[in-house]
Amino acid sequence: QQAFAAQRLQSKTALANIVQERLGIALNPEALFDVQVKRIHEYKRQLLNLFHTVALYQAMRADPSTNWVPRVKIFAGKAAASYHSAKLIIKLANDIARTVNNDPTLRGRLKVVFLPNYNVSLAESIIPAADLSEQISTAGKEASGTGNMKLALNGAVTIGTLDGANIEIAEEVGDDNIFIFGNTVEQIKTLNKEGYNPRSYYDNNTEIKACLDWLDSDYFTPGRPGELSAIKRSLLEGGDPYKVLADFQSYADAHQKLNAAYRDKKRWAHMAIMNTAMMGKFNSDRSIQDYVDNIWHLTPSS
């Protein structure tokens, strides 16, 4: 465990050096590196992560004396050129980062980083440094996934919905070594059938309301109030098709549990090692053999 943790700290320090060099943001390698790197898309729910970031920021400001787990929220990914909503999510991430990273009341306990120009070379630095892998797409929307496998193989513990390859990862690593949250596919179907009303979550959850109301202000966009209001409208008036608000509280509760786990260094090291050790099922040889046997129905040539 000590050797594994030491190697991970080395990878986190290397990533912190890249962030310092490219963005001028100083990171604490001992902090929890909370990583979401993937294509920017509404169903992948970077918004859910960003709203949790805002809620965490509000809580830290309200009670700076609490012994908070230091955390670095790391985002990276690209959006389609004409995908306006995705571009607005990128803007929100950078606006939040600018505000949070320059707030002296936090004393460096929360940092937000959006690394531009995400590519394979950058992934090679981010993935081995991730403590937490955010795989939080709406249940039923992520058919599979390979990013979550790469992150788990490198020792990142997953927080995710019961969706895509998260289900198989959970089966391999065990329920004690992954954080599952949110509505299942069947529960999403029930919400839709019964008539999903995102405004009910806004009206009844003070954290959600505070996060969305800040978007109408100029808190993250000084001198330009309402510049982010379209995000709030898309959720409350657009029907929140990806159930961001419906899963928010379950997601926040899962983060509370993983905070407690991260404080226990031995427990977290064990979880990380189990994620690396149990990824054998996802190797390419086994995957191709499955295709040969079950999809292609090939037989060896004589």
Looking only at the bridges linking them, the beta strands covering 132-135 and 157-160 are parallel
Q: Quick one: average pLDDT of 105-129?
A: 96
Q: What is the pLDDT of residue 146?
A: 83
Residue 144 has pLDDT above 90, yes or no: no
Judge whether residue 151 has pLDDT over 80.
Answer: yes
Amino acid at residue number 50:
L
Share of the chain above pLDDT 90, in %: 91
Is the predicted pLDDT of residue 143 greater than 70, yes or no? Answer: no
**For residues 176 and 170, what is the distance between their CA atoms, to the nearest angstrom?**
9
Specify the pLDDT at position 73. 98
Tokens 């030491």, located at residue: 6
Residue 13: predicted pLDDT: 98
pLDDT over 70 for what percent of the chain?
99
Closest residue by Cα to residue 29 from 75, 57, 70:
70
**Rg over CA atoms, the chain:** 20
pLDDT of residue 164: 85
- In 3-state terms, what secondary structure has residue 139? coil
Per the prediction, the chain carries an average pLDDT of 95
CA 194, chain centre distance (Å): 29
- For the beta carbon of residue 225, count every other beta carbon within 10 angstroms: 13
10-54: per-residue pLDDT in tens?
A: 999 999 999 999 999 999 999 999 999 999 999 999 999 999 999
pLDDT for 9 equals 97
> In sequence order, what are the beta bridge partners of 36?
75
Average pLDDT estimate for 149-176: 94
What is d(CA 299, CA 296) in angstroms, rounded to the nearest whole number? 9
Q: Give the three-state DSSP class for 223.
A: coil
CB neighbour list of residue 179: distance below 8 Å, 6 or more residues apart = 157, 158, 159, 160, 254, 257, 258
Highest mean pLDDT among 13-17, 65-69, 161-165: 13-17
Residue closest to 26 by CA, chosen among 111, 89, 97: 111
Confirm if 36 and 46 have CB atoms less than 8 A apart.
Answer: yes
C-beta separation of 81 from 90 below 8 A? no
Alpha carbons 23 and 85: distance in angstroms, whole number: 24
Question: Mind listing the pLDDT tens digit for each residue in 118-137?
Answer: 999 999 999 999 999 999 99
User: What pTM was computed for the model?
Assistant: 0.94
Residue 302 pLDDT: 72
Q: Count Cβ atoms below 10 Å from residue 187 Cβ, excluding itself.
A: 16
**pLDDT average, residue stretch 180-188:** 96
Interval 202-226: pLDDT, tens: 999 999 999 999 999 999 999 999 9
